[in-house]
Structure 1
Amino acid sequence: METGPRPRPRRARLRRLLPTPTGTPFTFAYAVVLAGTSLFMEFADPDTVSAALRASSTDVTHLAHSPVLVLGASALWIAGGVMSPLVVAFVVVLTALERRTGGLRTAGVFLLGHVLATLATEIPVGLSVMAGHLPQSSLHRLDYGISFGVAASIGALAGLLTPWPRWLVLGGFAAMLIEDLVAFTDPMTNWGHLLALAVGVGTWPLLRRRVPGRSARRG
């Protein structure tokens, strides 16, 4: 009796690590946008790129004048471009999170981490400048990227894993963030990453209520 080729579950599992238009539409669409902005950063005129990044920066000055616009614009860029390790983290983590919870909740987790961590790190800067503890130049700090959203997504995804993988992911990622904080190269951003991770952990009750009733998706 002849049979067709056997299925290859390992290859199928590997494919599920990548976003698809039908299975993970939010992650797929967002990845396409980030690929476009990364190509722009790589090949556009340097002065044009610099101007675009400055206009997208979530520094205190921009947040005070156009907070909604700049919070959205800052999440359209990858610091370091396509060669950044954040690219792999973004694709794998958001794909896994969306397959488990859906696009709306994944977008909500990402946006919540991005916005709250940004405000929590920039508002103290503004207050410190007003109090005379920091120079006026601190109001114009270049700050953009997806790292806060990715950190929140890692924290959220950990809550959907079984206990051992959950604590390995959380412990390993938190240890890396604390190591960066101790190095004191960019303490404000490092604190923002830890805050974003905590935001993701805080979404566990909401996401766990979603999982049992969620139907399987293909793609």
Structure 2
Amino acid sequence: MLGAVRGYPRRAPLTLAYVCLLLVGHAWLGYVLSADQAASILGYLSTNLDNLQDHPLAALLGSVLLFAGTLTDVTSADFLGTLITLGLGVCCSLAWAEARWGRPRAVAVFLGGHVVATLLTAVVIAVALRRGWYPADVRHALDYGVSYGAQTVLAFGTPALPRRGRLPWAVFVLAWPLGGAAWDGPLPDFTTVGHLTAAALGFGLLGVPAFGRRRHLHRPELTA
């Protein structure tokens, strides 16, 4: 375990730098800016329908520089979500992808999952609004963070586990977003739709030939 921690910067330097950036951004919003200033920034970077129509690039790229959750309220459901997305997703699965596939492909999986899942979820939201399945205020709901990208690499990292652990892991990746899902109609809330979409993308990428050749001859395990 100690050796894995010591070797982490060498195996996954880009992931480590990204995690540090996320932590700095979290501290900046939570402890440096006023509540109104933080709310204004989050409102601008939220990947809701209104923002995707007005400033899509700023929303898509800006939202992935932050994470939604808590590091201090350890008894809350938000902290569990932080452990899954930031801990298992970014710190472990993204680091594994970087070590196994190299930085370009790891970034492509993570960022591609974030962008594609966000855009597909936006399409679902637009259809659901027309059919009355979602309330109208979903158009400008607050939605930001790394969770869709993290969910994609969580699914994509399934081969890092021993064979007998892969099916339970896949079930976990698909099931955890449903644990807190809200159902107001035939669809769960849009964030649950986004997480399930991101997971499907991650599993689907495992069958893409571009990811069929490892960068290294050995297989690094998930880095704790």
- Give the alignment partner of residue 58 of structure 1, picking from 47, 58, 68: 47
Task: Name the structure 2 match of 1:209.
Answer: 212
Tell me by how many angstroms 1:52 deviates: 0.6
1:14–1:169 Cα change, 3 Å: farther
The unaligned stretches of length 5 or more in structure 2 are 73-81
Tell me by how many angstroms 1:134 deviates: 5.1
Between the aligned partners of 2:6 and 2:168, the Cα distance in structure 1 is 24
TM-score by length of 2: 0.80
Q: Aligned letter for 1:42?
A: G
Task: Name the structure 2 match of 1:70.
Answer: 59
Task: Name the structure 2 match of 1:87.
Answer: 86
Between the aligned partners of 2:219 and 2:164, the Cα distance in structure 1 is 26
Map 1:36-185 → 2, pairs under 5 A: 36-43=24-31, 44-83=33-72, 84-85=82-83, 86-89=85-88, 90-129=90-129, 136-181=136-181, 184=183
**8 Å contact kept, 1:113–1:200:** yes
**8 Å contact kept, 2:86–2:150:** no
The more displaced of 82-91 and 31-40 is 82-91
1:34–1:190 Cα change, 3 Å: same
Aligned residues: 204
Between the aligned partners of 1:204 and 1:154, the Cα distance in structure 2 is 12
Task: Name the structure 2 match of 1:24.
Answer: 12
Q: What SS does structure 1 have at the residue aligned with 2:152? A: helix
Root mean square deviation, CA, Å: 2.6
Cα deviation code 1:61-117 (max 9, x no counterpart): 110122122100111111024443233122122112211111111111111211121
Between the aligned partners of 1:29 and 1:13, the Cα distance in structure 2 is 17
Q: Aligned letter for 1:120?
A: L
Runs of 4+ in 1 over 4 A off after TM superposition: 130-136, 215-218
The more displaced of 111-120 and 133-142 is 133-142
Map 1:185-204 → 2, pairs under 5 A: 187-204=189-206
Q: What SS does structure 2 have at the residue aligned with 1:145? A: coil
Q: What SS does structure 2 have at the residue aligned with 1:159? A: helix
TM-score by length of 1: 0.81
**8 Å contact kept, 1:41–1:49:** yes
Percent identity between the two aligned chains? 27
Task: Name the structure 2 match of 1:12.
Answer: 3
Tell me by how many angstroms 1:167 deviates: 1.6
Task: Name the structure 2 match of 1:4.
Answer: none
Tell me by how many angstroms 1:123 deviates: 2.0
Between the aligned partners of 1:107 and 1:41, the Cα distance in structure 2 is 25
